Amino acid sequence: MNSPRPPLMHPPMAQFPLQDGEPLVNGVPLGRLAERVGRTPFYAYDRSVVQTRVAQLRAVLPPALELHYAVKANPMPAVVGLLAALVQGLDVASAGELKLALDTGLDPQHISFAGPGKQVAELRQAVAAGVLVHVESALELQRLADLQQQLGLPARVALRINPDLELKGAGMKMGGGAKPFGIDADQVPALLRQCAAQGLAFEGFQVFAGSQNLRADLLCEAQLQSYALALRLAAEAPAPVRFLNLGGGFGIPYFPGDVPLDLAPIAANLAQISARAAADMPQARLVLELGRYLVGEAGLYVTRVIDRKVSGSQVFLVVDGGLHHHLAASGNFGQVLRRNYPVHIVTRSRTTERETVSVVGPLCTPLDLLADRMDLPVAAVGDLVVVYQSGAYGASASPQGFLGHPAVTEVLV
């Protein structure tokens, strides 16, 4: 006979130690931080958690491998400034993010600009700035050649390859098969010839196949295949490859049963790739480009209970924040099945009593759900409700104008 399976649990959020029931945000008790911020809702990002994460990676990754931060994961200027000092490069995906990256003072040599549908004006800014452009199409390459002529400046280019492989297990697939991202591998040789013919400053390749992957074996397989693909195409390149971006896609645990990524096999795999690259492409800087993995676990979304209602047999806590600030936690940012993010309640009563409650936001839509029937401490009006794992794809990835509530505050602690 099968014994009943224990319910799946969220992994412990050990990056925020509790003191008398309150998460400490870089040493500051959450209640005190809320007073300091002066209002709820807000996002709090803990710089020590980001620093620890980068240090963990640096401790195991091959020294020659560069770490880059994908700004779109969290474009708060203070966060971008923090990362600019911790990693070797920044990757941006719009002129707005390009400005953020340049404002940090980072050498444009170490900034790259990716993404489909870059406008001519944005490409012009990128060439003027001297950043590396990850080219996404034949037309974009032609536009860069024209801009190089017009501005009398070299257009630094890397081709973003849409691999002929699919990265399995990724939460959001962005490579393999027909995709709006990158250039199909079989079209790359023609564009390499175009780079040569037009005298573009060819530097290398980027392969990015997906996001939010918690399977080390699948990430390793994708890195090996990406490397092999880049090596094959390098043979047709007009110049030695000086830049090879193997993407990222490292996931973090959000949901019950999720297991944190095991870095050891990934580090071993990258050490092997790094050694091969030293022989195959001796001039190439190898780059890993991470967004969510660097900042996701460092962020909290903090709301306050404004009402408590009972409907039928269900208890609802209505809080002052919701999907307009944190679309992902409501389950509406790329998830197939809605599941609860890890949630914690700081009760002023410090009760040990618990109940099954749903936490909903102030928007008039059933989608505005932060916790669906979770086991949480019995909360009262005024208590703080905290959503963990909120440091990536939060404020900037949410429809803040929806229903006209104030924009969310963000603090880096």
32 to 91, contacts with ligand PLP by CB under 6 A?
70, 72-73, 91
Residue 216 interacts with ligand PLP (CB under 6 A): yes or no: no
Q: What's the Cα-to-Cα distance from 203 to each of 169, 222, 288, 358, rounded to whole Å?
A: 30, 22, 16, 52
342, 351 Cβ separation under 8 angstroms: no
The rounded distance, in Å, linking the Cα atoms of 91 and 205 is 14
Residue 292 interacts with ligand PLP (CB under 6 A): yes or no: yes
In whole angstroms, how large is the CA radius of gyration of the chain? 23
What sign does the dihedral 76-323-46-267 (CA atoms) show?
Answer: negative
Residue 114 interacts with ligand PLP (CB under 6 A): yes or no: yes
User: First-to-last CA distance in the chain?
Assistant: 51
Nearer to ligand PLP, 10 or 292 (CB): 292
Residue 226 interacts with ligand PLP (CB under 6 A): yes or no: no
Q: What's the Cα-to-Cα distance from 216 to each of 15, 197, 307, 341, 343, rounded to whole Å?
A: 21, 40, 43, 22, 26
- The alpha-helical segments, DSSP class H, found in 210-330 are 216-234, 263-280, 292-295
**Residue of 43, 45, 293, 301 interacting with ligand PLP (CB under 6 A):** 293
Residue whose C-beta lies closest to ligand PLP: 291
Residue 94 interacts with ligand PLP (CB under 6 A): yes or no: no
Applying CB under 6 A, what is the total number of residues that bind ligand PLP? 16
**Residue of 21, 89, 204, 249 interacting with ligand PLP (CB under 6 A):** 249
Residue 290 interacts with ligand PLP (CB under 6 A): yes or no: yes
Q: What share of the chain is helix, strand, coil (3-state, %, to 5)?
A: 35, 25, 40
- Helix H or strand E segment including 188: helix 188-197
**Residue of 66, 289, 297, 320 interacting with ligand PLP (CB under 6 A):** 289
Part in contact with ligand PLP (CB under 6 A); list of ranges 188-196, 205-213, 234-242, 253-261: 205-213
Residue 198 interacts with ligand PLP (CB under 6 A): yes or no: no
What sign does the dihedral 387-393-397-401 (CA atoms) show?
Answer: positive
Tokens representing 32? 């005190």
CB of 185 to ligand PLP, least distance (A): 16
**Residue of 40, 212, 340, 398 interacting with ligand PLP (CB under 6 A):** 212
Interface map 370-399 toward ligand PLP (x if CB under 6 A): ----------------------x-------
Residue 182 interacts with ligand PLP (CB under 6 A): yes or no: no
Residue 248 interacts with ligand PLP (CB under 6 A): yes or no: yes
97, 75 Cβ separation under 8 angstroms: yes
Residue 131 interacts with ligand PLP (CB under 6 A): yes or no: no
Query: Which residues of this protein are in contact with ligand PLP, per CB under 6 A?
Result: 70, 72-73, 91, 114, 208, 211-212, 248-249, 289-293, 392
